Chain A
Amino acid sequence: MNPRRILDAIWDFVVGDDPRLALAALVAIGLTAVVCALGLSAWWLAPLIALGALRWTLRGARPSATSASKTSS
């Protein structure tokens, strides 16, 4: 089996179709580690970054035409 295909399959499995969310997870945990290393309280940081990133990735999303017509009737 082609090693490149295996790596692609693992990437698709873990990262999925939106790499921004994987990056957000990395940043959330990484920044938490940095702030903790500075001796500060950091439990609030990961939820803020994760949920903020999630909202950011939904910025352009809109209901489809069929969904909107069902809800309005």
Chain B
Amino acid sequence: MSGAELSLALSVFLACAVEAVEAFTIVLAVGTTRDWPAALAGTGVATLVLAVLVAALGPALTVLPIGVLRVVVGGLLLTFGLQWLRKAILRAAGAKDKHDEEAIFATERAEAAAIPAAAGFDGYAFAISFKAVLLEGLEVAFIVLTFGANQHNVGLAAAAAALAVLAVLGAGLVLRAPLARVPENGMKFTVGVLLTSFGIFWGAEGAGADWPGGEASLAPLVAVVLVAALAMVAEVRGRASVAEVAT
């Protein structure tokens, strides 16, 4: 596996694992509170929809001219990556609440318990699970398609995503509890750095820029983005808190 393929697989794996943990928490809450068959049915249907989406769009994207693909995909990835990175910086600096799977699990359970139980098939459990897996999965599908199309290796990206889902499911089946110990916030920070770096690299390349050393520029670029993001965390963290400003 080349360096580029390894970067692709790692980025997709991490991003997918983060989304899978979030979806798992909601499905677990609904399944344990209400009805497992309905929750699993919702999960299965959403997964099928996502698989069809990737299978249909993947080949369609790869027929685009590579320059056009790099600009469009690079731009979308950069936008996505900057969003993820901004939120991750705010969480790391204490300016935004960190993602807490146990708290989310408790909230989802309370909400699910408040809805009257259904006779027969539990439409609520199906709908909540379907929505959670579809919404989280759309981000995964987006990352699989963009990374995979740019490297002309949607299959590798899809395999990395599937591996991440299996890893999260496996951990969830063993623990039968929210995956609170997964370093989700750290993973989101890492994914934000990677998406931003790849977005910059491919977007600029598609726009006609020649990176010094070609793909060898990617590693230093990731390092620059990482250092810049950490510096921004330190800068925000060093500011007076909201309460200190108010007094």
Contact = CB atoms under 8 A, between A and B. Distances in A.
A17 B84 CA distance: 11
B241 A21 contact: no
A64 B221 contact: no
13 contacts: A25-B199, A29-B203, A30-B207, A41-B209, A43-B212, A46-B204, A46-B209, A47-B221, A50-B199, A54-B228, A64-B94, A64-B97, A65-B244
B204 A63 contact: no
Main secondary structure of the interface of B (DSSP, over half): helix
Nearest to A39: B208
Interface stretch (B72-80, B111-119, B150-158, B177-185): B72-80
B203 A28 contact: yes
Interface in B61-117: 71, 74-76, 78-80, 82-83, 85-86, 89-90, 93-97
A30 B206 CA distance: 10
Interface string A37-69: 100011101110011011101100111110111
Contacts of B221: 47
Contact of A13 (B78, B138, B243): B138
B121 interface: no
Contacts, number: 144
B78 A43 contact: no
Contacts of A50: 78, 82, 196, 199-200
Given A32-B209, A53-B82, A54-B86, A71 B94 contact: yes
Given A25-B78, A29-B206, A47-B200, A57 B236 contact: no
A20 to B, nearest CB: 9
Interface of B: 71, 74-76, 78-80, 82-83, 85-86, 89-90, 93-97, 138, 142, 196, 199-200, 203-204, 206-212, 217, 221, 224-225, 228-229, 232, 235-237, 239-245
B212 A24 contact: no
Question: What bracket does the count of chain A residues touching chain B fall in?
Answer: 35 or more
B242 A21 contact: no
A43 B210 contact: yes
Which of B79, B142, B229: most chain A CB closer than 10 A? B79
A29 B204 contact: yes
Contact of A54 (B203, B206, B232): B232
Nearest to B217: A43
Contacts of A57: 86
